[in-house]
Structure 1
Amino acid sequence: MPERHDHRTPPHQRAEPRSRSGVLGRRWKRTGTEPLYAQSALGVRLLLSVVFLPLFLAGTLLFWYWTAHSSPGDVPSSDSLLVLTLVCAGLTLFAAIDLVLVLRRRARERR
């Protein structure tokens, strides 16, 4: 059922429904099996991003330092340490992007 708006309220002051929570609106057509007003747990995502962003950043810096100061015969090898550095860097980037997206969505829903 489409949502009805009071036409006297300007469009920029209307609450944005969750059905339009994407950048361009609904990504997929409803199949009818999902809840009509399903919401993601933004508070949990925010908490996880805030906790794990500094943790992954510290891991990235630690493995980068360890890689830079390892010798060719060391165990673990510098190649293994480089892989761990890149994995931690990727997870850091993922957590940072998720944090930005969650903060943007929470700010938009407060309006």
Structure 2
Amino acid sequence: MIGGRVPRTGTEPVTARSAVRLRLLLSGIFLPLFAASCVLFGVWAAHSRAVDSPGRAVLVALAVVCGVLALAAALDLLVVMRRLRRERRPSR
């Protein structure tokens, strides 16, 4: 490790940095938002009738999309937290 960071392995610029704290903020905001939307659309789909608009299939599709986005936000949150923990660890 060089200065708490992993050494460069490719042709990226020396000053290239990831916006880790911004990713942490965005994942922290959108994870509960997408999770709540997934639940909302799922409950709405469960209580909708065949003649309702939007249809049950559309609501289920929206619930699935929100669930996938919530999963992506959760995974990104885990990656960012792991990366921040690794950078804060004292180098030996």
- TM-score (norm. length: structure 1): 0.73
What SS does the aligned partner of 1:17 have?
coil
Change (3 A) 1:82 1:97: same
**Structure 2 portions without partners, runs of 5+:** none
Question: Separation in 1 of the partners of 2:31 and 2:39?
Answer: 12
* Cα shift at 1:39: 0.9
Query: What is residue 70 of structure 1 aligned with on the other side?
Result: 48
| Alignment RMSD (CA, Å) | 1.9
Aligned residue for 1:90? 68
* Structure with more relative contact order (C-alpha pairs < 8 Å, separation 6 or more): 2
Residue segments in structure 1 that go unaligned for 5+ positions in a row = 6-13, 20-25
What is the aligned length?
89
Indicate if the aligned counterparts of 1:66 and 1:81 stay in contact, CA closer than 8 A: yes
Instruction: Determine what percentage of the aligned residue pairs are the same residue.
Output: 46
CA separation of 1:50/1:18 partners in 2, compared to 1, >3 Å: closer, same or farther? farther
Shift of 1:83: 0.7
Cα distance in 2, alignment partners of residues 105 and 80 from structure 1: 37
> Which entry has the higher C-alpha Rg, 1 or 2?
1
Paired amino acid for 2:20: L
Is 1:54 the equivalent of 2:71? no
User: Which residue of 1, 10, 19 corresponds with 1:41?
Assistant: 19
SS in 1 for 2:17: coil
Instruction: Say whether 1:81 aligns with 2:59.
Output: yes
Q: Deviations over 1:51-84 (max 9, x none)?
A: 1100000000000000000001110000000110
Equivalent position amino acid for 1:108 in 2: R
Deviation (angstroms), 1:16: 4.0
